[in-house]
């Protein structure tokens, strides 16, 4: 990708990460990182991309590496280690229900056989939201399995 520094700038802005925080994560001087993020140095090192992915889990980084290969990747959520409350589980489920409504609307768009410019915008929004929806689905699964295992342990004690 030419002008890959623009993607780095967008990632930093979207995920509210400072250039200094990224430089610190990579073990690089702030001034050197500013040269990469400003486009003065080309060919951003893989250690910078790796650190950016660790900080953001933004799939656009993977898309940059993978290119035109047909693949879809969504990072798995990390277990929080916190007890899952009923309220948390309810919020996760409500969010997933909204994602399902969005998916249903996209399927309706495709079912009519015509995709116009208005549909394009909806599909682009769906494309951007889909990795988060997959992560949410995985988070719900992990939460349910954690709650299930906790109930089994209580039952056996």
Highest mean pLDDT among 12-16, 54-58, 70-74, 95-99: 12-16
Q: Tell which wins on pLDDT, 65 or 15.
A: 15
Q: Is there a single domain that holds both residue 111 and residue 54?
A: no
pLDDT of residue 131 exceeding 90, the answer is no
What value does the mean pLDDT of the chain take?
83
Q: Is there a single domain that holds both residue 90 and residue 147?
A: yes
pLDDT category of residue 127 using cuts at 50, 70 and 90: confident
Q: Is there a single domain that holds both residue 44 and residue 99?
A: no
Beta-carbon count within 10 A of 59 CB: 20
- At residue 55, the pLDDT reads 92
Q: What is the mean pLDDT of residues 21-35?
A: 95
Q: Is there a single domain that holds both residue 93 and residue 148?
A: yes
The 10s digit of each residue's pLDDT in 38-54 is 999 988 999 999 999 99
Nearest to 123 by CA among 137, 108, 136: 108
Domain that holds residue 104: 86-156
Is residue 77 assigned to a domain? no
Per-residue three-class SS string for the chain: CCCHHHHHHHHHHHCCCCHHHHHHHHCCCHHHHHHHHCCCCCCCCHHHHHHHHHHHCCHHHHHHHHCCCCCCCCCCCCCCCCCCCHHHHHHHHHHHHHHHHHHHHHHHHHHCCCCCHHHHHHHHHHHHHHHHHHHHHHHHHHHHHHHHHHHHHHHHC
Q: Is there a single domain that holds both residue 52 and residue 102?
A: no
Q: What is the mean pLDDT of residues 11-24?
A: 95
């Amino acid at each position: 990708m030419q002008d890959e520094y623009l993607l780095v700038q967008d990632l930093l802005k979207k995920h509210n990460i400072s250039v200094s925080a990224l430089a610190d994560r990579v073990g690089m001087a702030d001034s050197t990182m500013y040269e990469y993020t400003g486009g003065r140095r080309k060919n951003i090192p893989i250690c910078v991309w790796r650190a950016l992915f660790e900080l953001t889990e933004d799939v656009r980084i993977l898309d940059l590496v993978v290119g035109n290969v047909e693949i879809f990747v969504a990072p798995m959520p990390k277990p929080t280690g916190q007890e899952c409350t009923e309220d948390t589980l309810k919020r996760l489920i409500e969010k997933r229900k909204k994602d399902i409504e969005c998916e249903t609307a996209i399927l309706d768009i495709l079912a009519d056989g015509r995709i116009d410019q208005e549909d394009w915008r909806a599909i682009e929004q769906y494309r951007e939201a889909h990795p988060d929806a997959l992560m949410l689905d995985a988070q719900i699964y992990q939460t349910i399995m954690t709650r299930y295992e906790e109930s089994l342990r209580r039952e056996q004690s």
